Chain A
Amino acid sequence: MTPAITVRNPGLLSLIVDLGRTGFGAVGVPSSSALDRYACQALYSLLDCANAPLLEIIGPRFALQFDADVVCAITGARVKAFLDDTPLRPWASFHTKKGSMLRVKEITEGFRYYIGFAGTIKTDAVMGSYTTNLECRFGGLNGAPLTSGAILHLEDSREIETNVVPLNLIPPMNSPHILHVMEGPEADSFTADSRRHFWEKGFHELFTVSTNLNRTGIRLEGTPLVFMPEAPKSIVSEGIVSGTVQVPGDGLPIIQLHERTIGGYARVAVIARADQDRLAHLKAGDLVCFERISLEEGERLWMEKKNRIDKLRYLSVSPHE
């Protein structure tokens, strides 16, 4: 029989995600990827699968009830989670029993957390991906967030050994967030002084994450960047990559996540790929500062990150406790 998992409480927002939709950018289809891809890689490793649908969740009180024995795991933001009365280890997999309830009581570090299962949540891939495009209402479970009472059917449920991600492979997720950036295509549109304050060591301007944040972008508050007198406030719309920092006319940066293929604001910087998972954990009121690096340094940081992802792939099986 196919195990059924019932959402008893969806938290503030929970969605089906994966590593994103690719190949349709020319007609404006964004990736809509999970925001913390590293946490997803950790789930795939713990659950011994690749690019299966996972849950991305914000907020406490998320609860799931299981009608069968299933192997489940949680990564991403550090949470106080319980299976019935048993506290669960962070970044680890565990067995559920028929009738047992998984509850997330509190988030202690970070913002978004991820839950996956050894098996495949039954849902149709849309344009090659399971992830939810919330704005356009496709992908995921009918293009919508999970609601209380929603049932996830788990196909090909597998019994596997449980495992734990070692502490040294769990990244920090708390404010302040120091993000490495490379110069963006329109960096020269800003005065030298304002660029220095934006990203130079020793001059660091601290920005605060505003309440204006969602899966599309994160608006920051702080000292506005200053445009050069002759620089246009907007550009002829052009393709953008995830992690591009755009600056509209008011000078306050917006970090673009995985929901737009084209942008029309000056692109002052691009967040290093190695630091982009951290963006999943920026929440209103958090402090952010930028630190400029070269593209070569960005590549080197990404190589290091890839090494850590490789280490996730070869977790040693921990003994049962």
Chain B
Amino acid sequence: MIIKRYAENALRIIFGNQIDMEVHEQVRRAFFLLLSLQLNDIKEIIPSFCACLVIYDDDLTSYDPLAELLRERLADLSAVELPPPQVHEIPVHYGGDYGPDLSFVAGHCRLSAAEVIERHCAETYTVFTVGFTPGFPYLGTLDESIAAPRLETPRTRVPAGSVGIAQRQTGIYPFESPAGWRIIGRTDVRLFDPARHPYSLMQIGDKVRFIEER
């Protein structure tokens, strides 16, 4: 674990430099441990694949004492109490207007559309992080045989619920938004609702399975 300063009121706690389940497990443990400490001087904790970003209130603390405190508290991550990961089953309409890039992915991977769908549904994915837009789950790890590059030029708008692929990741766009991933399908499941608690359907460490809806 390395702690590095990022801005006047922000630091990064770094556990690795590539997408990896072991690194993810450490990030997740660190995140839930930090939450449980309920430190007043921490305003935001943003876990991602390899690191936690901590934004702090510099009226209440400063980098040196906070970094020291974090080093001490995060030294042992083995005893952290973790919430049991939820498993989400996500029905998806694949292809056609729902998934305009399904045929590209199939062509790129030299597979039939049905094989791409089958392989996309075969895996149980892990939510590595949630971001980009509220509730967007970055899911891994995608079967290498159906990995596809991002779009050269992102689309300016895709509909809410669009399911995309980018390299070894897959994800779901909770809102109508710009999108650079290859869209292979769409779900009716609502991933984020600002009027409902918890706001985001998914959080770091949850598991996801896709089910083809015909």
Contacts and interface: CB of A to CB of B under 8 A. Distances in A.
Contacts of B4: 185
Nearest to B194: A138
Interface in B171-205: 174-175, 177, 192, 194-195, 198-200, 202-204
Q: Place the interface of chain B in its size category.
A: 35 or more
Contacts of A22: 43-44
B53 to A, nearest CB: 3
Contact of A29 (B10, B53, B134): B134
A87 B129 CA distance: 52
A136 B133 contact: yes
Interface stretch (B12-20, B67-75, B84-92, B95-103): B12-20
B23 to A, nearest CB: 9
A84 B133 CA distance: 42
A138 B134 CA distance: 11
Interface in A294-319: 295, 298-299, 302
A237 interface: yes
Contacts of B133: 28, 135-136
Contacts of A238: 12, 48-51, 53
Interface residues of A, number: 37
A273 interface: yes
Nearest to A143: B194
Interface stretch (A99-107, A114-122, A168-176, A239-247): A239-247
Contacts of A184: 6
B43 A273 contact: no
Interface string B120-144: 0000000001111111101000000
Contact of A298 (B8, B177, B200): B8
A10 B49 CA distance: 42
Contacts of A27: 130-131, 134-135, 192, 198-200, 202-203
A311 B136 CA distance: 41
Given A22-B43, A182-B7, A262 B134 contact: no
A261 B52 CA distance: 12
Nearest to B17: A236
B53 A239 contact: yes
A26 B203 contact: yes
B108 interface: no
A272 B199 contact: no
A273 B52 contact: no
A262 B130 CA distance: 9
B147 to A, nearest CB: 15
A88 interface: no
Contacts of A126: 194-195
A23 interface: yes
B138 A241 contact: no
B210 interface: no
A310 B134 CA distance: 34
B46 A26 contact: yes
A21 B45 CA distance: 13
A241 B6 contact: yes
B32 to A, nearest CB: 10
B46 A262 contact: yes
Given A135-B177, A239-B12, A240-B53, A28 B44 contact: no
Given A238-B48, A238-B53, A243 B7 contact: yes
B46 to A, nearest CB: 3
A26 B43 contact: no
A203 interface: no
Contacts of B48: 236-239, 262
A196 to B, nearest CB: 22
Contacts of B161: none
B167 to A, nearest CB: 10
Nearest to B50: A236
B6 A262 contact: no
A31 B8 CA distance: 17
A237 B168 CA distance: 13
Given A26-B130, A136-B175, A236-B18, A273 B9 contact: yes
B7 A236 contact: no
B94 interface: no
17 contacts: A22-B43, A22-B44, A25-B45, A26-B203, A27-B192, A28-B131, A28-B192, A135-B133, A237-B129, A237-B131, A238-B49, A241-B9, A262-B129, A270-B6, A299-B58, A302-B8, A302-B58
Given A27-B130, A261-B131, 11 more contacts: A25-B46, A27-B134, A27-B202, A28-B133, A28-B200, A185-B6, A237-B129, A238-B12, A260-B131, A273-B9, A299-B8
10 closest Cβ contacts across the A-B interface? A239-B53, A262-B131, A239-B46, A27-B200, A28-B131, A25-B44, A138-B194, A25-B46, A28-B134, A136-B175
Interface of B: 4-10, 12, 17-19, 31, 43-53, 55, 58, 129-136, 138, 174-175, 177, 192, 194-195, 198-200, 202-204
